[in-house]
Amino acid sequence: MATVRDPERIARVAPFCFLMSFSGGELDQAEALGLARSVRAHGAENVLVTRGGEGELMLNGEGLCQVPAQPTDLHDSLGAGDTFIARVLVGLLKGESTEVLLRAAAIEAAMTCTRPGAFGHAAPMQIDQSRAMSLEEIYRVSQPAQA
């Protein structure tokens, strides 16, 4: 999901996009809708703006569809956006209605938030350290970067 909203970049890229997605948690309703309309006017077939706890909106050939965020027991939000956009793409490719795919994506993203993300929990690994260099060896053979 993009957080860059440069109008010139959008104008260049949008005509080639089946789905153009933006993370807009800090946008109010009017700003999110304005962004979606602008991007759609530049040629993106489907425009998605996610707004975290404020829900999501999508603008496409069906019109505007908005769904509320799905309540969840938040454990870790890492990956929720990836889950959301993946489910949106699956729904678009299956021909689901915009409302159906957005509601399903909200449910899947909420489920992702109930699990630990990539950081903060141990995962056992077996690593052969027999050929690893010590810090002293690394410092001895490396050179400082030029300023």
Q: Please tell me the total count of domains within the chain.
A: 1
Q: Which amino acid is at 44?
A: A
Element (H, E) at 21: strand 19-23
Q: Structure tokens of 55?
A: 């829900």
pLDDT digits (tens, 9 = 90+) for 65-124: 999 988 888 778 788 889 999 999 999 999 999 999 999 999 999 998 888 775 556 666
- Single pTM value for the model: 0.76
What pLDDT score was predicted for residue 73?
Answer: 86
Which CATH number characterizes residue 93's domain? 3.40.1190.20
Instruction: For residue 132, give every residue at least 6 positions away whose Cβ sits within 8 Å of its Cβ, in sequence order, or none.
Output: none
What pLDDT score was predicted for residue 144?
Answer: 66
Domain that includes residue 44, residue range: 7-141
Backbone angles phi and psi of 49, in degrees to 5: -125, 115
Does residue 122 lie within any of the structural domains? yes
- CA gap 45, 59 in Å, rounded: 8
Q: Please give the DSSP secondary-structure letter assigned to residue 57.
A: E
Residue 23, pLDDT > 60, answer: yes
* Catalytic (active-site) positions: 82
